[in-house]
Copies of this chain bind each other. A is one copy, B any other.
Amino acid sequence: MESSEFKTIKNTDQPLPSRAADQISQLIIDRQLSAGDKLPNEFELAAYLHVGRGTVREAVKLLVARNVLEIRRGKGTFIAKHPGQIDDPLGFAYLKDQKKLGLDLLEVRIRLEPWVAGIAAAKADEKDLVILRENCSRVEEDIYGGVDHLENDRKYHISIAKCTHNLVVPKLIPIISYSVGLFGSLNGTSLLTETIIGHRAILTAIEAHDPDAASAAMKDHLEKNRSALLEI
């Protein structure tokens, strides 16, 4: 494949720690190491990669920065919980026009999330529903308690995505729900009430395994969010 040739060419230009980091990544993939597994120690890696321990240490730092590895003090180096997945992976924070970003994100969300809610209603099992109810209640508790609910709001949307049992959707939703945080200041009382009502309506439809109702409830919820944004 051209892309892997390209990688090889690029690699020879890269500093040694970057190359070692790529090789460690490949090792993780080849050995099917997953979240929480321990990485072989520095000595083994140095011997395996034919590099010095200093290079291994630099490579591990790079992979920590990329959220592939995590260091637990006194315990060793482990595969991260969601290896390779970082906050704001598309660099949204670096875009200049944050208002357009918010509206463009909502456009994508309105296309994607009603569909996701529909699949969630069709596929959610009892275990999924327990988590969904819990996350729905947490948002309500935050709002009633006068505490910022945005983190739990995002988690609620992610838990809906997880009901689909699709590998990709739960990874995409956290990225596009970046918009939730952008307009935190917007959360006046009316949008807070809508959040509670909207989230409950989505939950009820998913519990009833009614894809059309779930889809419609999600669409309605996101449209109301968009209206609120447009009113600024």
The chain A residues found within 8 Å of chain B, CB to CB, are 1-3, 6, 21, 25, 28-29, 32, 34, 61-62, 65-68, 82-86, 88-97, 100-101, 104-105, 107-108, 111-112, 115, 147-148, 150-151, 166-169, 171-172, 175-176, 181, 184
List chain B residues, Cβ under 8 A from A176: 168, 172
CA distance A148 to B90 in the complex (A): 27
CA distance A62 to B66 in the complex (A): 8
Check B94 against A90 for contact (C-beta < 8 Å).
Answer: no
Check B101 against A3 for contact (C-beta < 8 Å).
Answer: no
Q: Evaluate whether A91 and B85 lie within 8 angstroms (CB atoms) in the complex, with A2-B147, A65-B65, A181-B1 already known.
A: yes
The residue from B88, B94, B168 contacting A28, defined by CB atoms under 8 A apart: B94
List chain B residues, Cβ under 8 A from A101: 167-168
List chain B residues, Cβ under 8 A from A148: 1-3
Number of copies: 2
Check B95 against A167 for contact (C-beta < 8 Å).
Answer: yes
List chain B residues, Cβ under 8 A from A171: 90-91
CA distance A184 to B25 in the complex (A): 21
Check B169 against A108 for contact (C-beta < 8 Å).
Answer: yes
CA distance A184 to B176 in the complex (A): 28
Check A97 against B167 for contact (C-beta < 8 Å).
Answer: yes
Q: Evaluate whether A104 and B168 lie within 8 angstroms (CB atoms) in the complex, with A89-B89, A94-B83, A151-B6 already known.
A: yes
The residue from B2, B90, B93, B169 contacting A25, defined by CB atoms under 8 A apart: B93
Can you name 11 A-B pairs with beta carbons within 8 Å?
A1-B150, A1-B181, A3-B181, A67-B91, A84-B88, A85-B90, A89-B89, A90-B175, A95-B167, A101-B167, A107-B166
Q: Tell me, rounded to whole Å, the shortest Cβ–Cβ distance linking A33 to chain B.
A: 9
List chain B residues, Cβ under 8 A from A34: 94, 96
Q: Tell me, rounded to whole Å, the shortest Cβ–Cβ distance linking A215 to chain B.
A: 12
Check B29 against A184 for contact (C-beta < 8 Å).
Answer: no
Closest to A166 in B: B104
Check A100 against B65 for contact (C-beta < 8 Å).
Answer: no
Check A168 against B105 for contact (C-beta < 8 Å).
Answer: yes
